[in-house]
Amino acid sequence: MNQSEIKWWQGAMIYQVYPRSFADSNGDGIGDLKGITNKLDYIASLGVDAIWISPFFKSPMKDFGYDIADYRDIDPLFGDMADFDELLEQAHQRNLKIMIDQVLSHTSNEHAWFTESRASRVNDKSDWYVWADANQDGTPPNNWMSIFGGVAWQWESRRQQYYLHNFLSSQPDLNFHNPDVQQGVLDNVEFWLKKGVDGLRLDAINFCFHDAELKDNPAKPIDKRQGRGFSEDNPYAFQYHYYNNTQPENLAFLERLRDLMDKYPNTAALGEISSEDSLATMAEYTEEGRIHMGYSFELLTDDYSAQYIRETVQTLEEKVTTGWPSWSVSNHDVQRVATRWGKNDNNAEQCKMITALVASLRGSICFYQGEELGLPEANIEFEDLQDPYGITFWPTFKGRDGCRTPMPWQQDQKNAGFSINKPWLPVVEEHKALAVNVQDNDKNSILNNFRSFMAWRKQHKALVAGDIEFIETEEPLLMFKRSFDGETIFCGFNLSNEAVSTSLPMSLETINNPVRSQAEISGNEVTFPPYSVFFAK
């Protein structure tokens, strides 16, 4: 690949906006599309390339927009189509791409397709969802479990059958074995491509197909029940999920989706993948002719060791052929990285180091709103919880509300400037001290470091699109080199809060970079202060 062949999404910095919690323009306590438009100058100042917007479509909001009732309409909570058109136009004027969330595997139970499908076994939509007869004793047809707790089957008395829901019971799964369903889904996608969106983030894309024979999932041993975005005391973790998702038929559908997107040049699809071997699935799903990028929960875990990060990235690099990886350490479904990896230390230098580390990996990077401020996980009292996932598993698992609280814009304003009225989730006190206006005025803040690092990164194509090769080091050091078109940059990171020294097999020369805490290089000897970095040649 040479510089002229780099696509906009290869090595892109993608900023995820969770619209409910970003900016409220009308004072109802819920963020909206106009709120995003009003903050586009701020997003542009971060130096990112694209905005991924979580769902804003018409929805009963049982799962806060990931239960879609109409794929082609805006929920009034967020505004209307004119608001979206204005957002798209204003973003493009600032050279920002817009990627929208597409939830293809399931709908809301209030979607017109499901309303018709549930009415009888003989109408035009009767097999658009996954329906199955009960066993002789009335129990569900197999042992599949829902991610959100309990069995994955809900009885429907009108049809005298069960329907499948891998998520909430109000999120019935579509039957992708029906070609008409696939076409209906692709038609909805094309509606937004025609509008001019630049990309799609494909939610739970490996959940589109199920095993047509409804085979039972095998049990998983206790020592293997490690969650990927779900609580380990959740019975969902008790199974290998070989049959309720990640079926081979999905590959042909992804190729149909890619054929559609290729009709709209310069668009890209980013798939969220959570399977029993997510790295292998990412590699498979991003092969030539399928989706452009895939990301998994592999760096959204508690494991923060250099060995884990190195082995995870190396494993994917070995498996990927023509595909392009994407990495994320925070999103709207997991505990914020400042808490998860920071262990409640709230260390600004660690946050800066994590940004530099993730942004230096090969691939496209998704940063979640508030990550640029170093926001820790918010502690939400039970009476304030909104997430059905957290309410179900409280108190052992508090759900996802702690990473979904409103953005703090102005420290001394009501609700930190997010809304003039009570927000849907509270703004916690510790976030106000990290508000945008506070950090704007501090040249050494996490926010200003984020901005300067993104601007610096763009100047080095090796960091944007280069190959990656790891250098073996002892904990807690992580080192690798990125190479592109004759440029090689060595990258080093101290993941600990203690100083560390090491010897390298070669002498390096430091490249000036914006991160405040820098390692000292003398020949082939390197001394790392706590949470420090180096970039060298």
Q: What is the pLDDT of residues 103-144, one digit of tens each?
A: 999 999 999 999 999 999 999 999 999 999 999 999 999 999
Q: pLDDT digits over 151-166, tens only?
A: 999 999 999 999 999 9
Above 60 in pLDDT, residue 32? yes
In one-letter notation, the amino acid at residue 428 is V
Q: pLDDT digits over 268-286, tens only?
A: 999 999 999 999 999 999 9
> What pLDDT does 22 receive?
98
- Of all residues in the chain, the percent with pLDDT exceeding 70 is 98
Above 80 in pLDDT, residue 231? no
Q: Which residue has the higher pLDDT, 65 or 323?
A: 65
Above 70 in pLDDT, residue 230? no
Burial 26-46 (b: 16+ CB within 10 A, else e): eebbbbbbbbbbbbbeebbbb
> What pLDDT does 1 receive?
59
Task: State the first-to-last Cα distance of the chain, in angstroms, to the nearest integer.
Answer: 21
CB 211 within 8 A of CB 166: no
pLDDT band with cut points at 50, 70 and 90 for residue 3: low
Above 70 in pLDDT, residue 387? yes
SS3 sequence of 298-309? CCCCCCCCHHHH
pTM for the full predicted model: 0.96
Can you read off the two tokens belonging to residue 516?
């405040």
Above 80 in pLDDT, residue 233? no
Q: pLDDT digits over 487-507, tens only?
A: 999 999 999 999 999 998 888
Closest CA to 50 of 6, 94, 111: 94
Q: In what order do the strands lie in the sheet with 161-164?
A: 131-132, 161-164, 153-156
Helix (H, G, I), strand (E, B) or coil at 440: helix
Q: pLDDT digits over 235-263, tens only?
A: 999 999 999 999 999 999 999 999 999 99
Range from 204-213, 221-230, 306-315, 463-472 carrying the lowest mean pLDDT: 221-230
> What pLDDT does 2 receive?
66
In one-letter notation, the amino acid at residue 41 is D
Mean pLDDT, the chain, integer: 95
> What pLDDT does 227 receive?
58
Closest CA to 476 of 329, 343, 302, 305: 305
Q: pLDDT digits over 304-361, tens only?
A: 999 999 999 999 999 988 889 999 999 999 999 999 999 877 799 999 999 999 999 9
d(CA 264, CA 261): 5
Mind telling me the catalytic residues? 203, 272
Above 90 in pLDDT, residue 224? no
> Which residue segments constitute the domains of the chain, with CATH numbers given?
3-107+179-457 (3.20.20.80), 468-536 (2.60.40.1180)
pLDDT band with cut points at 50, 70 and 90 for residue 232: low
> Looking at residues 218-234, what average pLDDT do you find?
77
pLDDT band with cut points at 50, 70 and 90 for residue 430: very high
d(CA 440, CA 491): 28
- Of all residues in the chain, the percent with pLDDT exceeding 90 is 89
> What pLDDT does 225 receive?
85
d(CA 264, CA 285): 20
d(CA 454, CA 49): 10
In one-letter notation, the amino acid at residue 343 is K
> What pLDDT does 228 receive?
55
Helix (H, G, I), strand (E, B) or coil at 353: helix
